[in-house]
A and B are shown apart, each in its own frame.
Chain A
Amino acid sequence: MRRGLIGMVLAVAALPAFAAEEDIVLRGMGSFHVGGRVAEVSGKPVRMIVRQPGGPLTKLDPNGQYMVEQMYVQYFLPKQRKGKLPLLMWHGGGLTGVTYETTPDGREGWLNLFVRKGWDVYNSDAVERGRAGFASSDVWPSEPTFLTYADPFERFRIGDGEGSWSPDPTKRKVLPGNQFPVEAYDNYMKQSVPRWLTTDNAIIDAYIALVDKVCPCVLLLHSQGGALGFKVAEQRPDKVKAIVAVESATAGNLGKAAALKDTPTLMIFGDYVDQHPRWATFKKIDLEYAAAVRAGGGTVDVINLPDIGIKGNSHMLMQDKNNAEIAEVIQKWLVGKGLVD
């Protein structure tokens, strides 16, 4: 009882200290959209739509010009800049830049942590996601996909494989020592947005427009953002000065990997990757790409977090409870590459 009380007092005392982190001092912050094109919709029939619940059918003429395929970028520029180049954070599939903001359980995410480390951070929403907006079915004929509430629990290595999910939170089987804040799983699922499966080229075009606007830079990529980011880097090797690929879900084109010979790359993988059939496959593809980059004269460092004693990480490393520790691993690598003052 006595020990319980002391523990509680300590925990309470620790909270204000955490909240009273040092101020974030910015020399600037803002946002912009980049890329995109004006699409012409023509020859489509006029549709009848209901504009208000219970209201009458009214005419909607879908023909005309529309602004489509732009992307959204928000930036934070610390007053005391230490990163030598802008750091661009690109999220994964079905997600937005929110990935890097406050974690689902309310802690600081990598956006704040890297701003605090002195990086000019550009956090974005890919074409079709979040504040980038999406085009109508007249411009993009394919349908978007939606993730079920259960899907990432098993697929992102929070739960212990297939069958680990249960609608009843007390019956969900979490991987031993998992670092994902499972108590905030519902908040995580609120971050997901629809994803199209036919828009890769449009997404890449906008990312290239972003790179052309703000780089030379460092790319921090996650999951699907890895597959897209490597392809962008292959086309702008002079502007992408380093890549940090966090659980890249496939990589670039093997035939173009040599383009990255002067772009040092770090690949990071969390825990239980080799045991999970899906992630073992992605990792294999990533490592083949790494080998191709090396064969072309480039350098790729691969860190399996469990190998350096960092255990239990899910696919959403930047939201895991030890996200600050992993940010430090990345920072150390960036320092080692001479990218930090």
Chain B
Amino acid sequence: MRRLGIALALSLVAGSALAQGKEPILLRDMGSFHVGGRLIEISGQPIKEVVFTPGGVPAKMDPNGTYQVEQMYVQYFLPQNRKGKLPLLMWHGGGLTGVTYETKPDGGEGWLTYFIRRGWDTYISDAMERGRSGWSTTFKGEAVSLPFGDPWERFRIGAPGSWNADKVKRTTYPGTQFPIEAYEQFMKQGVPRWLTTDNEIVAAYVALVDKVCPCVVMVHSQSGTFGYKVLEARPDKVKALVAVEPTVGGDRNKIASIKSTPILAIYGDNARDHPRWSKIRQGGVDYAGVLKAAGGSIDVVDLPDVGIKGNSHMVMMDKNSGQVADLIQKWLVGKGLAE
């Protein structure tokens, strides 16, 4: 009991020093850029009347002309004491932006600063169509906004049927690590998502990889599919892939080309039992089996199996996100990618 108390006190001290950012972050540079995209021509559209200022005089607006579309926004932070041997690219999931990896909804430090503090040149981006990348009317179909309650069950904060509009009536998986008191804050990070734009998203990611790689790519959820597609398109440039709860694996017909890139796939808690996630996880596990049999290198980690319990789909925002980041960092060091 005494020993446990001391260990706990020590870990709290270490955790809080980092979490509260007491140690300064030294950057040799920081900045941003847009990459990819193309110019398109719109013609034959009727001229519209718009009112620029409420109550103002309508002005004619001609929607025809040339437009810049399908570019992607990237922000980078380059630590003074570089220890990651390659740039680390962080790609977010569906309906979200690079904010996923920034300050957590409950105010704790996210993975962006975690990995900067460990010496990684970090490139954090908003996928084509999301956030600071902008979007255009040229996409097919319409943008879909996530209802307020939707992620609660789908992202395994609570089991199916656990959501309730009344806060006090919501239930969670036992021991959930998601900061439920900050659920509303998490939902503020949501942005609309199209369902028809995968090719354009991948094209912009390839443009990014061509610009800043060789590199390590970290993907989450929807970007799992993008990570694999880009790896398959640029196997010489993506030197490692960290897939956090990827929703899809790679293309089984392209396994031969990606065999030399080590992959780490991570799943949180309750993924085996959740009706949707059990299928997603099984797909990932099956793919890993095929990849391994063909001589590829992939490690699949179910966090509960290594004693890390309670993680939702938003692992990087969970209360124990630092613990999971430690696991990733250790894996990267083990692959010789960090000092």
Contacts and interface: CB of A to CB of B under 8 A. Distances in A.
B147 A29 contact: no
A74 B65 contact: no
Interface stretch (A2-10, A49-57, A260-268): A49-57
B313 to A, nearest CB: 18
Contact of B165 (A53, A65, A102, A200): A65
Contact of A50 (B63, B135, B140): B140
A149 B52 CA distance: 19
B185 A33 contact: yes
B148 A25 contact: no
A193 B144 contact: no
B192 A134 contact: yes
B71 interface: yes
Interface in B277-332: none
Interface stretch (A182-190, A297-305, A311-319, A326-334): A182-190
Interface stretch (B9-17, B95-103, B224-232, B251-259): B95-103
Contacts of A50: 140-141, 195-196
B314 to A, nearest CB: 15
A25 B135 contact: no
A96 interface: yes
B31 A102 contact: yes
A189 B37 CA distance: 11
A97 B146 CA distance: 24
A30 to B, nearest CB: 4
Contact of A65 (B31, B34, B147): B147
B113 interface: yes
B21 A148 contact: no
A167 B165 contact: no
A145 B58 CA distance: 14
A26 B68 contact: no
Given A26-B27, A72-B99, A106 B65 contact: no
B109 interface: yes
Chain B residues touching A, range: 35 or more
A275 B279 CA distance: 65
Given A27-B21, A67-B184, A149-B67, A112 B31 contact: yes
Contacts of B44: none
Given A65-B148, A148-B66, A106 B33 contact: yes
A29 to B, nearest CB: 6
Interface stretch (B126-134, B236-244, B265-273): B126-134
B140 A30 contact: no
Contacts of B24: 25-27, 79
Interface in A132-182: 133-136, 145-151, 167
Contacts of A215: none
Interface residues of A, number: 65
Interface string B113-154: 100000000000010000110111100111111111100000
B54 interface: yes
A30 B30 contact: no
Contacts of A147: 67
B132 A36 contact: no
A74 B134 contact: no
Contacts of A187: 33-34
B102 A74 contact: yes
Given A64-B149, A125-B132, A191 B21 contact: no
Given A79-B24, A189-B68, A31 B61 contact: no
A28 B39 CA distance: 39
B67 A101 contact: no
A147 to B, nearest CB: 8
Nearest to A135: B145
Interface in A51-83: 51-53, 60, 64-67, 70, 72, 74, 76, 79
B162 interface: no
Contacts of A130: 73, 126, 131-132, 134
Contact of A53 (B21, B34, B140): B140
B7 interface: no
Given A30-B103, A51-B195, A150-B65, A67 B54 contact: no
A254 interface: no
B71 A149 contact: no
Given A25-B24, A197-B51, A30 B66 contact: no
B111 to A, nearest CB: 12
Contacts of B146: 66
Nearest to A24: B27
B67 A23 contact: no
A198 B80 contact: no
Contacts of A24: 26-30
A41 to B, nearest CB: 9
Nearest to B135: A194
A67 B73 contact: no
Nearest to B76: A102
Nearest to A131: B131
A26 B148 contact: no
A30 B109 contact: yes
A26 B25 contact: yes
Contact of A66 (B63, B136, B147, B165): B147
B210 to A, nearest CB: 16
B50 interface: yes
8 smallest beta-carbon distances between A and B, as pairs: A190-B34, A33-B188, A30-B103, A102-B31, A148-B65, A65-B148, A193-B134, A133-B191
Interface of B: 21, 24-34, 37, 39, 50-54, 61, 63, 65-68, 71, 73, 75, 80, 97-99, 102-103, 107, 109-110, 113, 126, 131-132, 134-137, 140-149, 165, 184-185, 187-192, 195-196
10 contacts: A24-B30, A26-B25, A64-B148, A97-B132, A112-B30, A130-B131, A130-B132, A149-B67, A193-B132, A200-B54
Interface of A: 19, 21, 23-33, 36, 38, 49-53, 60, 64-67, 70, 72, 74, 76, 79, 96-98, 101-102, 106, 108-109, 112, 125, 130-131, 133-136, 145-151, 167, 186-187, 189-194, 197-198, 200
